[in-house]
Structure 1
Amino acid sequence: MNAYLVGGAVRDRLLGLPPGDRDYVVVGATPEAMEAAGYRRVGRDFPVFLHPGTGEEYALARTERKSGRGHRGFVVHADPSVTLEQDLARRDFTINAIAEDAQGRLVDPFGGAADLDARVLRHVGAAFAEDPLRVLRAARFMARLAPLGFRVADETRALMRAMAESGELAELTPERVWQELARALAAARPSAFLRTLREAGALAAVLPEVDALYGVPQRAEYHPEIDTGAHVEMVCDMAATLAPGDAVIGFAALTHDLGKALTPAHRLPRHVGHEHAGLAPLEALCARLKVPAAHRELAVVACREHLNVHRIAELRAATVHDLIARCDGFRKPARIGQLALVCEADKRGRLGLADAPYPQGDLLRRLHAAALAVGARDLAAEGLSGPEIGQALRRARIAAIDAVPRH
């Protein structure tokens, strides 16, 4: 029985990146032998075990055979006769098909180390085409690796296009699509995820509401980049800069302008009312992908309110109060700070405006803090009851907002 460190731990060490989870492949073992050695079985679809001391995952070497459509249509075969090279051959990319033995020697049958040096994301073999999820994985890896100079190999991009054209991406489960999207939005360059999918013709299959934004013009005086799709890419990257690793902020950034795809052609490049028009496609996207409530709720707020936040200094105190209330900012105070970040990403995610100041964000936070400082207990001495308390609280909070200097 021999164990090899595999996958991301080897890849990231060779790239000089912080180490993540350490996963191992075991060659020449049976499930019974693993359990006799104290390993605890956790794999449902194939034999995976937890080390009795470290809790790290050890999977028996295995092969896979395509048995149906989609990313779950596989028969897994694991027994002591499966070699390390056979196990590595079923992996997605050469940079993930490198193993390391106990002495630190690399086993690299598919040239993954060379591709790491060349900054190329390349599929291992023809079996890549059997799993449509790998198209999304390629895009998600690019969201992480593009800042390091990686590109998708030409032959891999061509294979991804063929996979998209086959229609098999429609077989992906909503949960797996969301998982890959959320991880991409938490990466350093989410735009690379969108661009990679679009170049493969796959964005329309998994995120049609976002794909529809490409080619839609905007007014050049506000959006020097013109194209709405390009703008959304910039906003996502700015969100990743302002809130690193935060997929909640990232999802709101991705979806804040969905309504622009619905603007009638005769009104272009103006997009009057796009913030409200975007709510229907946003809700459809969230329902289809089973988006978690926290992501959906902030996305709805940002879609509906981002123009109001941009002109926050012009709004009356009562209007600001009602904006905060609509966002549930009194019960969930953190949401206002999140909204401010999304709106800042929207304003700075434009050609030539990456370093532009966004005083509206700070002003929104100060107005919110002033209103939040007023509570129902402050009105108890006035002898109010029932609806009177709510009315008086609103008046007091509006007064507190009004007292904050706007400039």
Structure 2
Amino acid sequence: MQVYLVGGAVRDTLLGRDIKERDYVVVGATPEQLISQGYQQVGKDFPVFLHPQSKEEYALARTERKQGQGYNGFICDFAPDVTLEQDLIRRDLTVNAIAQAEDGSLIDPFSGQQDLENRLLRHVSDAFSEDPLRILRVARFAARYHYLGFTIAPETKALLIDMVQAGELNTLTAERVWLECEKSLSDGAFSEFLNVLASIGGLHVVSAELEEKWCDELYNTLQARFAYANKLKINDIAVLFSQITLSLSSDEIKTIATSIRLPNEVRDLALFSQIHQTTLSAEKPTSEAIFSSFNQLDLWRRPERFEQVLKVLEVSHQQSVACYESLIKAAAQARAVNPQQFIAQGIKGAEIKTALEQARLEVIKNYFS
């Protein structure tokens, strides 16, 4: 039984990047052998096991055969006689098909190290085209390593375009598309991810509306926003995703939310930010407009939502909104108005709400005309 470190850990070590997780492949073993050594199997039909101490993933060397459509249409064959090279050839990119033996030596049958040096993302074999999810994965890797000068190899880009034109993206579930978006957002290079998809005609998988509007100006605008967010180490997924929806209409945002199944908190922040960006970003907003925004954002029960919207707008402008200090003070003082004071004055029923709203508006008028 031989154990090899594979995939991202090897790749990122060679690139001098921090390693987030380690995955291993085991050659020459059976499930029974691993279980007898204390490994815990993950699932019944998939040969992946958790190490008894580290809980890191150890997968038996396997081959894959395409059967059916989509990224789930594969049959895995795993046996002690499956070789390391057979396992590596099923991987997506050469830079992800490098293995490291326990003595530290590298096994690189597909010249992944050379592609790392040349800053190229190149597919390992023709089997690449059997998995439509790899379209999004390559876009994500291209975005993540864009700052290092990585580009997609011409033959791989041509293959991606062919796959998109063949409708392969249509076989992906909405949840899977969002998961890849979420991973790219966490990488801090979402604008580049979208640009790669646009370059191969596949941006519609995220948003057909965004694909229609995509241009160099929008790309450069989003690049600046994500650079600012990275500088401030802003990693709120909802705040980051809202950067791409500020130029869309509410209906277009709702369409995206449905098509890729946005989590409710991501959808809601995108909508609130789009609706209230004009008022909250204005240099001289009226007190009535601010009060209306406070009410619609439910500042009184959800102050964190208001703060999130301000953060979205800060990232979009790469600086705090013009009236930031006044907004924060007005919000705090308006929230401090207590309905109990009106009840104590003998005010009853619906008149309490009227008095409460008037008092809050008067507070806001102290900061805005």
Question: Is TM (by shorter chain) over 0.5?
Answer: yes
C-alpha change, 1:109 and 1:323, in structure 2 (3 Å) is same
Is 1:373 the counterpart of 2:336? The answer is yes
* Counterpart position of 2:159: 159
Q: How many angstroms does 1:288 deviate by?
A: 1.6
C-alpha change, 1:104 and 1:393, in structure 2 (3 Å) is farther
Q: Distance in 1 between matches of 2:220 and 2:163?
A: 25
* Counterpart position of 1:254: 244
Match among 294, 308, 314 for residue 279 of structure 2: 308
* Counterpart position of 1:295: 266
Match among 303, 313, 317 for residue 343 of structure 1: 313
Q: Distance in 2 between matches of 1:48 and 1:306?
A: 48
Q: Distance in 1 between matches of 2:170 and 2:251?
A: 22
- Alpha-carbon contact 1:120-1:152 (below 8 Å) kept: yes
Q: Distance in 1 between matches of 2:231 and 2:325?
A: 17
Instruction: Report the secondary structure of 1:115's partner residue.
Output: helix
Q: Distance in 2 between matches of 1:5 and 1:377?
A: 65
Question: 1:72-91 counterparts in 2 under 5 A?
Answer: 72-91=72-91
Match among 333, 356, 360 for residue 397 of structure 1: 360
Q: Distance in 1 between matches of 2:18 and 2:80?
A: 33
* Counterpart position of 1:197: 197
Which whole-Å deviations, capped at 9, do the CAs of 1:41-92 have from their partners, x for residues lacking one?
Answer: 1135511111111111111111111112211111111111111111111111
* Counterpart position of 1:279: 250
C-alpha change, 1:103 and 1:300, in structure 2 (3 Å) is same
Residue identity (%): 42
Q: Could you tell me which amino acid in structure 2 is paired with residue 396 of structure 1?
A: A
Q: Which moved more, 1:181-190 or 1:154-163?
A: 181-190
Question: 1:137-152 counterparts in 2 under 5 A?
Answer: 137-152=137-152
Match among 319, 322, 336 for residue 359 of structure 1: 322
Question: 1:42-191 counterparts in 2 under 5 A?
Answer: 42-191=42-191
Q: How many angstroms does 1:254 deviate by?
A: 1.1
Q: How many angstroms does 1:339 deviate by?
A: 1.0
Q: Could you tell me which amino acid in structure 2 is paired with residue 359 of structure 1?
A: A
Match among 283, 299, 305 for residue 329 of structure 1: 299
Q: How many angstroms does 1:38 deviate by?
A: 0.9
* Counterpart position of 1:3: 3
Q: Could you tell me which amino acid in structure 2 is paired with residue 253 of structure 1?
A: Q
Q: Distance in 2 between matches of 1:362 and 1:21?
A: 42
Q: Distance in 2 between matches of 1:209 and 1:45?
A: 40
Q: Distance in 2 between matches of 1:9 and 1:375?
A: 56
Q: Distance in 2 between matches of 1:168 and 1:124?
A: 19
Match among 278, 290, 293 for residue 320 of structure 1: 290
Q: Distance in 2 between matches of 1:152 and 1:393?
A: 60
Q: Which moved more, 1:128-137 or 1:141-150?
A: 141-150
* Counterpart position of 1:16: 16
Q: Distance in 1 between matches of 2:65 and 2:345?
A: 75
* Counterpart position of 1:387: 350
Q: Unpaired runs of 5+ in structure 1?
A: 216-224, 259-277, 349-355
- Alpha-carbon contact 1:257-1:303 (below 8 Å) kept: yes
- Alpha-carbon contact 1:71-1:172 (below 8 Å) kept: yes
Q: How many angstroms does 1:371 deviate by?
A: 2.2
Which whole-Å deviations, capped at 9, do the CAs of 1:290-317 have from their partners, x for residues lacking one?
Answer: 1101101101111211112221x42222
User: Structure 2-normalised TM-score?
Assistant: 0.92
Q: Distance in 1 between matches of 2:144 and 2:325?
A: 30
Q: How many angstroms does 1:165 deviate by?
A: 0.8
User: Structure 1-normalised TM-score?
Assistant: 0.84
Q: Could you tell me which amino acid in structure 1 is paired with residue 291 of structure 2?
A: H
Q: How many angstroms does 1:377 deviate by?
A: 4.5
Q: Which moved more, 1:232-241 or 1:148-157?
A: 232-241
C-alpha change, 1:12 and 1:43, in structure 2 (3 Å) is farther
- Alpha-carbon contact 2:286-2:368 (below 8 Å) kept: no
Q: How many angstroms does 1:20 deviate by?
A: 0.6
- How many residue pairs end up in the alignment? 369
Q: Unpaired runs of 5+ in structure 2?
A: none
Q: Distance in 2 between matches of 1:25 and 1:332?
A: 48
C-alpha change, 1:361 and 1:240, in structure 2 (3 Å) is farther
- Alpha-carbon contact 1:185-1:240 (below 8 Å) kept: no
Q: How many angstroms does 1:119 deviate by?
A: 2.0
Q: Distance in 2 between matches of 1:242 and 1:306?
A: 21
Q: How many angstroms does 1:250 deviate by?
A: 1.5
- Across the aligned residues of Structure 1 and Structure 2, the Cα RMSD in angstroms comes to 2.2
- Alpha-carbon contact 2:49-2:57 (below 8 Å) kept: yes
